[in-house]
Amino acid sequence: MLSSADAVLAAQESAQVADLDSVKVELEEARAAVEEARQIAEQIVLEAQQHANQIRQSSVVNDQAGDLSPVEIQRGQVAVEVSAATVEEIAVAIMPSDWRVLVDVKNKDVLQKRFQYVTTKSRDQALRDLLAPIGLKHQYFFDLKDASGAKTPLLVISQR
């Protein structure tokens, strides 16, 4: 009877070792998957930072000091290159920094969709090229002022 008990113990011990080895393999695979996910997340963050910097740089290029007339705003040349940006983000990059941008559309998919956009045209043409293919239009409000009387011009993007 001892030999059968020894055999049972040996079988149990062997099964436990096999289970332990299996758990070790799964743990190593899980660690590798976590490390890979961490690296992918770091890459995504890096790319997002690069895109944000590109938007900021193009916005700086398009800023013009001084009080510009409506004609100067519309005809002013812009240099914009963005990838994976929303319509609003691209419009902000196109407009001078003191302008506000309001996107008023019912179709929320348009608000969330990301586009790649490159232009060196006039501001007005750049906006038309961006908005017309997706059924949107823009309108300038040059003379708006805040409560303290400071100019706060506004670009409104809406559906046709």
The chain-wide mean pLDDT, for the chain, equals 85
Residue with tokens 């020894």: 6
- Hey, what domains does the chain have and what are their CATH numbers? 1-160 (3.55.50.10)
Q: Are 151 and 144 in contact (CB under 8 A)?
A: yes
Q: DSSP state, 133?
A: G
| Chain Cα centroid distance, residue 144 | 29
Q: Which residues, at least 6 apart from 123, have a Cβ–Cβ distance to it below 8 Å?
A: 62, 73, 74, 75, 76, 77, 78, 94, 95
Q: Is the confidence at residue 38, as pLDDT, over 60?
A: yes
Would you state the pLDDT for residue 65? 43
Choice among 7-11, 24-28, 55-59, 147-151 with the minimum mean pLDDT: 55-59
**Total residues belonging to the chain:** 160
Would you state the pLDDT for residue 66? 54
Q: Decide: pTM greater than 0.85.
A: no
The DSSP annotation for 16-57 comes to: HHHHHHHHHHHHHHHHHHHHHHHHHHHHHHHHHHHHHHHHHH
Percent of the chain with pLDDT over 90: 48
Q: Is the confidence at residue 63, as pLDDT, over 70?
A: no
